[in-house]
């Protein structure tokens, strides 16, 4: 368990592989994640990458001003349908592309993204749809 924002930053920036793994896999209370987001803005993408980060924190990060952070959120498989919808409508095509490649993205969103004007987005969505099993 990660007990403080400072501990998370120390683990994430450590050269020791076991520390880096802890930063990626250990849980932390919501208040600690919020403190990391507030005190260490450059660590926001790494908060999103944590395997145990709660949906409440992903919801905060999905509205982040930085596309890099929203991209990290769009990669998560445990997103709610609402978060998938929000990120699929993101103004940044990189974020929409990440949604299109997410294996848990709802088919109806992929179908919408397949019509996206950005080539990267619609190609990613079409590719993802082609890999999905057919319902027939």
Average pLDDT for 106-131: 98
pTM: 0.94
pLDDT band at 70 (very low <50, low <70, confident <90, very high): very high
Question: Phi/psi of residue 16, each to 5°?
Answer: -80, 125
Q: What is the pLDDT of residues 75-110, one digit of tens each?
A: 999 999 999 999 999 999 999 999 999 999 999 999
Asked if the model's pLDDT at residue 41 lies above 90, the reply is yes
- pLDDT of amino acid 136: 43
What's the mean pLDDT when you consider all of the chain? Answer: 97
Q: Is 39 exposed, middle or buried (0-12, 13-18, 19+ CB in 10 A)?
A: exposed
Percent of the chain with pLDDT over 90: 97
Contacts of 116 (CB under 8 A, 6+ apart): 93, 96, 100, 122, 125
pLDDT at 133 (0 to 100): 81
The tens digit of pLDDT for each residue in 4-33 reads 999 999 999 999 999 999 999 999 999 999
């Amino acid at each position: 368990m990660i007990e403080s924002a400072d501990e998370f930053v120390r683990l994430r920036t450590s050269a020791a592989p076991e520390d880096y793994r802890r930063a990626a896999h250990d849980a932390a209370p919501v208040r600690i994640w919020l403190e990391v987001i507030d005190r260490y803005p450059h660590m926001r993408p790494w908060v999103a990458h944590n395997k145990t980060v709660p949906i409440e924190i992903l919801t905060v990060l999905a509205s982040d001003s930085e596309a890099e952070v929203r991209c990290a959120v769009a990669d998560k498989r445990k997103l709610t349908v609402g978060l998938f919808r929000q990120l699929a409508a993101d103004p940044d095509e990189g974020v929409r592309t990440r949604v299109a490649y997410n294996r848990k993205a709802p088919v109806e969103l992929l179908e919408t993204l397949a019509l996206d004007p950005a080539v990267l987005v619609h190609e990613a969505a079409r590719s993802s749809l082609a890999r999905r099993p057919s319902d027939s």
